[in-house]
Structure 1
Amino acid sequence: MKNDLDDLFDKEQAPKMKIERRDGEPTAAFKGASYAALLIGISAYLIGLFNAGMELNEKGYYFAVLIIGLYSSVSLQKAVRDKDEGIPVTNIYYGISWFTIIIAIALMAIGLYNAGSIVLSEKGFYAMAFVLSIFAAITVQKNVRDTQKAREAD
């Protein structure tokens, strides 16, 4: 009986195959969660737009605001990180990155505030899907960059 128990414990302590992760590289779980958040945020936003009872030009407005927000958030994350790491970033690019993310957020807020055809709960849905998408885009960009930097270090 004791040998059976010893064998059981030895098997549990046996090393498992582990995927090698480089120093500074995000974990697979964090990368997966980031991509999932991005996919969920964008999908929820777009499905909400598709099912919305608003005019096509309103849908186009909210779609354009999402695209501008996603692009500007990734651009700003890159510019901020480049500056932090000592990579040259022109002040005009840095300023435009900040300006476009502020404009995207302002356009979303103004659009939702003035949208008379959307109920308050739907406004909250669009705002949260927008924020989730923006945050996830920044996180995915950071993960891509961290992974690339970790692989180049080897």
Structure 2
Amino acid sequence: MSNDPAALPEKAREEDAKVEFERKEGEPTSAFKGASWAALFIGVAAYLIGLFNATMELNEKGYYFAVLVFGLYSAVSLQKAVRDKEEGIPVTNIYFGISWIALMISILLIGIGLYNAGSIILSEKGFYGMAFVLSLFAAVTVQKNIRDTQRARERD
């Protein structure tokens, strides 16, 4: 029998194709992974493009950039700590608490910064707030998808 795929009956080729692209148990769908990455890219890009085009001082831009980076890191760190605890992986209470506090501080800092920003009109404040929240949520989702995919593939 030939190894040429064209020589195989059509039904056998379809079954082989299904096996190659079959999702592992517990692995997120490609569409969900793609949507999560797209949301992260769109949120961060919109925030940064808005920041680049803003008519504020460079030190203010630095503040908002640092708050975004701090928020993204703290959100992913908290998600990992929560997931580790759920899966029985040891997480110290101090790290778990610091993760929560860091996320709350980043949200508080963006809120205070936008509230006190006299040079930003209300619609821009809403834009920054929404881009920030979208970015945090998407970062958590992307990290969760990566972990779920890795775990599903390790089970095989």
SS of the residue corresponding to residue 120 of structure 2 reads coil
TM-score (norm 2): 0.88
Which one of the candidate residues 48, 72, 79 is aligned to 1:77? 79
Q: Spell out structure 1 runs of 4+ moving beyond 2 A.
A: 14-18
Residue in structure 1 matched with residue 92 of structure 2 by the alignment: 90
Which one of the candidate residues 145, 148, 151 is aligned to 1:146? 148
Q: Which amino acid aligns with 2:43?
A: G
Q: Which amino acid aligns with 2:31?
A: A
Aligned length: 142
Residue in structure 2 matched with residue 41 of structure 1 by the alignment: 43
Q: Which amino acid aligns with 2:109?
A: L
TM-score (norm 1): 0.89
SS of the residue corresponding to residue 23 of structure 2 reads coil
Residue in structure 2 matched with residue 51 of structure 1 by the alignment: 53
Unmatched tracts of structure 1, length 5 or more: 1-10
Q: Which amino acid aligns with 2:125?
A: K
Mapped partners of 1:99, 1:109: distance in 2? 15
How far did residue 15 of structure 1 move? 4.8
> What CA deviation, in whole Å up to 9, does each residue of 1:18-72 have, x standing for no partner?
3111000000000000000000000000000000000000000000000000000
Mapped partners of 2:150, 2:98: distance in 1? 25
Residue in structure 2 matched with residue 110 of structure 1 by the alignment: 112
Mapped partners of 1:126, 1:140: distance in 2? 21
Mapped partners of 1:143, 1:76: distance in 2? 15
Unmatched tracts of structure 2, length 5 or more: 1-9
Mapped partners of 1:114, 1:132: distance in 2? 22
Residue in structure 2 matched with residue 136 of structure 1 by the alignment: 138
Which one of the candidate residues 37, 62, 65 is aligned to 2:64? 62
